[in-house]
Amino acid sequence: MNIQDMILTLQRHWSQQGCILMQAYDVEKGAGTMSPYTFLRAIGPEPWNVAYVEPSRRPADGRYGENPNRLYQHHQFQVIMKPSPDNIQELYLESLKALGIDPLKHDIRFVEDNWENPSLGCAGLGWEVWLDGMEITQFTYFQQVGGLECKPVSVEITYGIERLASYIQDKENVFDLEWTNGFTVKDIFYQPEYEHSKYTFETSDPDMLFGLFNIYEKEAHRQMENGLVHPAYDYVLKCSHTFNILDARGSISVTERTGYLARVRNLARKVAKTFYEEREKLGFPILNKKEDVNHD
Amino acid sequence: MTNRDVLIEIGLEEMPARFVTSSMNQLAEKIEAWLHERQIEFSGITAFSTPRRLAVSIKGTAQFQKDVNEEAKGPAKKIALDQEGNWSKAAMGFARGQGVTVEDLFFKELNGVEYVYVNKFIKGQEVRNLLPELKDLITSLTFPKNMRWADEDLRFVRPIKWLMALYGEEIIPFSIAGVQTGNETRGHRFLGESSVIQTAGEYEAKLKSQKVIADPAERKQMILSQIKQIEKDQNWTIPVDEELLEEVNNLVEYPTALFGTFEEEFLELPEEVLVTSMKEHQRYFPVKNKEGKLLPFFVTVRNGNDEHLDIVARGNEKVLRARLADAAFFYNEDKKTSIEDSLKKLESIVYHEELGTLAEKVTRVRKLTSLIAETWGLNAEEQKLADRAAEISKFDLVTHMVYEFPELQGHMGEKYALLKGEDARVAAAINEHYMPRNAEDSVPSSSIGSIVSLAEKLDTITACFSIGIIPTGSQDPYALRRQASGIVSILAENNTDVRLEELLESALSIIEEEKLAKDSVENIKKELLTFFKARVKHLLNERKVRYDLIDAVLENEIGSVSSLVERAEVLEAKRSSEGFKETVEALSRVMNISSKAEIDVAIDENLFENSYESGLNKKYMSILDEYASVKSEEERYEVLASLQPEIEEYFEHTMVMADDETIRNNRLALLSAVTKAIRQFAEWNKIITA
């Protein structure tokens, strides 16, 4: 199965479970969790069921397109369900079957893995799912987001698309994966992988990036004061990504690192709190919505 | 009257493997305690667990609680009867409260006062009605990490999926977090189905038919015998790490062991790297040949049956290959980097905000190493090697491999140092300077390793203390206690005269030079000594030395730790032997009286008034040389013990606190001199002789 079909299959599967299919969010981010469709919507009492593909940038993992397993940017298929459904593990295993993975022919295990993202004030408990010893999915019950206790609890399922595809397609090198008929990952992503790596490690301008970080941070605070959560959050994401480039570049010493992480964390906490307050002002509208979404 | 079996099963989403066994035991213990508390008789209790369930079966549970006959005590007689001798209101109230009439009351004396009593018979309740209390027992289970899920408020180890609670064939009714009890269990996730359990007796067998081995001991045995079979078939040796086996056992409900292979070229990687990749990251058992050499195979345990094992093996091989390819890449990259380049990188890594970079720490360790090496008695060549070992002790921290596998710090340093042509003794010391890594680990075997290890740990502890990081209660984020215990063990195991106080002074002098201290050096030193005494005490406790003997050797300075430990152990060995009591009493008496000495005068033999004074003085002079010349602490003990007859006779015939001030001071001077000599061994008057 090529990657395109995998995505289509997962979309169909989770759409049938009542998830809103969303598109990737258009600001750089390190993980699907950082999309406002996860980070913000996991906050507060309103139900929320979504699925989307999220391109995730990890500047430190850039390898100029030369490493068979590491990418500057990989893809996550992200599912959020709030409150976490009783049969969520079964729904997940059904999705693997839909991808052609027969559990009777493999060894599928749920191995403890607790997830923490201190820079976003997030913590959760759950597992990494092993398929014949390979970690293919992160499965997390959010306990805290942006420093706020989650009630109800959201469950987050994050499939590593390339990982899973390398197993399904039996390929050793991520660049050999077939995206769709006649197109490999290499055809589509090799050049950006190379260029982003070169940019991150060689040609980026740390002084400019430090400057941007400060500007983004300031703007995030300013927009929050106006109660404009989403524009503010976009700038938090930009801060986070800028920090990641500087960190990968080796421009941030260990001591400074703590300071920058604390600044991002403060922003994230403040956004989380503001989001909750804004939703509360609106009377948590989704809470009162009838279950009248039509699925096919 | 029939006894019934009770069965409780909590069905869960996969628990963390490390919590399964302890949670199972906790559930069984709580249920057993509840049965005792509730006076419910039973004939046996068995616990079960898999990643998805905790279960307890109680055999032969009585139908009723035990009946209880007891006397209930009421008011005192003088209150229970009015002046005419009739029952008072208080007595009638008591009877009413106990559900009896005043006719049932009688008097009985308690501590010389008569009280009203009534014989009370409490009929045991039907156990059936008590069993729903198990609900609170289940929700009171505690776990190292708890979570919430969905809309529930309950915090539990993982979400509860089903509850089975049977009393005989009856369902014990209760619900937890929206889950109602029933009589249905669930089988293996993929190989089994749900199954109705009629009574506890069929639990294990029915689950087995649904491909779940509920008894963890049986499951473990299956894994072991499967591994043995592979060992036999392939003519391999598969060392079974107990901890890994326990973890793997709690990751599966139905185990099937299988093996896979990896490319032989990866065997060129250091063994620690291969073993860590397999064990820590993949939970595989590494495979060796009969000679103990690592082979390019691994054993994994699948949660399933023996069908399609080839697919499972291939998948696992692919994962391991990717991991080892990564490791090989890091290994080759690291080989290209010189030690000097790595050391440069240490300059940009902050060790601690207030204590500078790693490079600065290494500089301090290096200075301290050379101070210790000298007092330790290393020759010039060895001193040079120790200096080199200290200088490069941390270079591997910036290698790719240690970044990926932090637990390999030191091990990789040794490997890489050898590859880069360092002296083997220097390479070994890089690894050894982390030892002992934990309470079970051994101390460095080489002098150079011991010295660098001491320097590294002493620097960490003194540096932390000097900026106010001092462990309190359970707060010890930098594991300073463990490191101090490491220092104590190294000193105890090495027969060295080096005094701990001197080591601390050396370490502090360097801290002072660098102007890191936030407090006066005197204060820091005092804190350090208290801290180290506690570690030495801990060590002696572990060696089963009686507490008063520990206090006796620890009262004064610590000095040489190995000598101190030896003295404590001599006392511990001697304390039950004949004459110990008399020796301790004689020596204590000297110490007690000499504390009355007010002025310091020289002993004047001309002032001795009897032969016992000169006798003790003569004996004292003779043991001074003897004490210094014998080698073992046991001999030293005997030397001091030989003072006993002279001391006893002295006290029998001499009045120390004489009226004549000159005579008195001279006598105290002799006793003070003796005290000074015997105190080197122990503070004798701290020893309890009964």
> Residue A178's pLDDT is what?
98
Pair of tokens at residue B597: 């000495």
The closest alpha carbon to A271, from A29, A33, A31, A36, belongs to A36
Distance CA A32, CA A80 (A): 10
pLDDT in tens, B543-595: 999 999 999 999 989 999 999 999 999 999 999 999 999 999 999 999 999 98
- Domains, chain B, in order of start with CATH, read 4-63+127-209 (3.30.70), 68-122 (no CATH), 216-336 (no CATH), 350-542 (1.10.3210), 578-686 (1.10.730)
With 60 as the cut, is the pLDDT of residue A293 above it? no
CB-CB under 8 Å, B189 with A93: yes
Residue A290 lies in a domain: no
- The domain tally of chain A equals 2
One domain for residues A104 and A243: no
User: Which residues in chain B have their CB less than 8 angstroms from residue A104's CB?
Assistant: 190-191, 304, 307-308
Give the CATH number, domain containing residue A213.
1.20.58.180
Same domain, A145 and A231: no
Residue finishing a domain among A155, A181, A200: A200
**Same domain (yes/no): A40, A174:** yes
pLDDT confidence of residue A100: 96
> Is any Cβ of chain B less than 8 angstroms from the Cβ of A93?
yes
Q: How far apart are CA B677 and CA B671, in angstroms?
A: 10
CA nearest A167: which of A139, A199, A129? A129
Q: Between residues 336 and 395 of chain B, which touch chain A (CB distance below 8 Å)?
A: 348-350, 353
How far apart CA A2 and CA A183 sit, in angstroms, is 10
The alpha-helical segments, DSSP class H, found in chain A are: 3-16, 36-39, 88-98, 161-168, 185-198, 206-225, 229-249, 254-281
Range of the domain at A261: 204-285
DSSP-assigned letters across all residues of B597-631: --S-----GGG--SHHHHHHHHHHHHHHHHHHH--
Report pLDDT for B617.
94
Chain A nearest-CA distance from B371, in A, is 31
What rounded mean pLDDT belongs to chain A? 93
Q: A167, B314: Cβ pair inside 8 Å?
A: no
- Residues of B within 8 A of A114 (CB-CB) are 145
**B176 backbone dihedrals φ, ψ, rounded to 5°:** -130, 130
Nearest-angstrom CA–CA distance, A115 and A113: 6
* Residues A223 and A92 grouped into a single domain: no
- A169 and A224 assigned to the same domain: no
Residues 159..178 of B with a Cβ closer than 8 Å to A: which?
159, 161
Position A254 scores a pLDDT of: 63
B151 vs A83, A133, A167: nearest CB: A83
pLDDT digits (tens, 9 = 90+) for B311-344: 999 999 999 998 998 899 889 989 999 999 999 9
- The phi and psi torsions of A80 (rounded to 5 degrees) equal -125, 130
Of A80, A143, A115, A32, nearest in space to B159 by CA = A143
Is the Cβ pair A69, B191 closer than 8 Å?
no
The verdict on A16 and A141 lying in the same domain is yes
Interface size, chain A vs chain B, as Cβ–Cβ contacts under 8 Å: 111
Yes or no: say if B206 and B185 are a contact pair by the CB < 8 Å rule: yes
Is residue A293 a part of any domain in this protein?
no
Q: What is the pLDDT of residue B70?
A: 85
Please check whether residue A146 lies inside any domain of the structure.
yes
**pLDDT at position A255, please?**
61
Chain B closest-CA separation from residue A166 CA (Å): 10
Give B-chain residues touching A125 at CB under 8 angstroms: 145, 147, 158
pLDDT score of B533 = 96
pLDDT of residue B476: 84
Cβ pair B321:A172 closer than 8 A: yes
CA distance A143 to chain B (A): 7
Angstrom distance (rounded) from CA B514 to CA A227:
50
Find out whether B410 and B430 touch, Cβ atoms under 8 Å: yes
> Which residue's structure tokens are 């421009």?
A251
Mean pLDDT rounded to a whole number for chain B: 94
**Within this chain, do residues A281 and A241 fall inside the same structural domain, yes or no?**
yes
Does the CB of B255 have a partner CB in chain A at under 8 Å? no
A69 part of contact set with chain B, CB < 8 Å? yes
**73-112 in chain B: CB under 8 A from chain A:** none
Q: Would you say residue A115 lies in a domain?
A: yes
Q: In this structure, is residue A15 part of a structural domain? A: yes
Is residue A291 situated within a structural domain? Answer: no
For residue A296, pLDDT over 70 is answered with no
For residue A141, the domain's CATH number is 3.30.930.10
- Do A78 and A211 fall within a single domain? no
Q: Is A111 on the interface with B (CB under 8 A)?
A: yes
In whole angstroms, what is the distance from residue B344 CA to residue B407 CA? 22
A280 found inside a domain: yes
Q: Is residue A10 one of the residues assigned to a domain?
A: yes
A46 lies in the same domain as A173:
yes
What distance in Å separates the CA atoms of residue A244 and residue B464, rounded to the nearest whole number? 31
* b/e A43-52 (16+ beta carbons within 10 angstroms → b): bbbbbbbbbb
Co-location of A217 and A97 in the same domain: no
Q: Quickly list DSSP for A198-236.
A: HIIIII--HHHHHHHHHHHHHHHHHHHHTT-HHHHHHHH
pLDDT of residue A294: 46
pTM of this prediction?
Answer: 0.80
Angle at A130 between CA A59 and CA A177, to 5 degrees: 55
**Residue B69: φ, ψ to 5°:** -105, 120
Measured in angstroms, the CA of A87 and the nearest CA of chain B are apart by 9
Per-residue confidence (pLDDT) for residue B121, from 0 to 100: 85
Average confidence (pLDDT) over A252-279:
86
Which residues of chain B lie closer than 8 angstroms to A110, CB-CB?
13-14, 51
| CA–CA distance, B45 with B59 (Å, rounded to integer) | 6
Q: Does A229 touch chain B (CB under 8 A)?
A: no
Angle between helices B661-679 and B611-629 (to 10 degrees): 20
Instruction: List the 18-47 stretch of B: residues with Cβ below 8 A of A.
Output: 18
Q: Which helix (H) or strand (E) holds B226?
A: helix B216-234
Q: Which residues of chain B have pLDDT under 50?
A: none
Of A85, A133, A253, the CB nearest to B300: A133
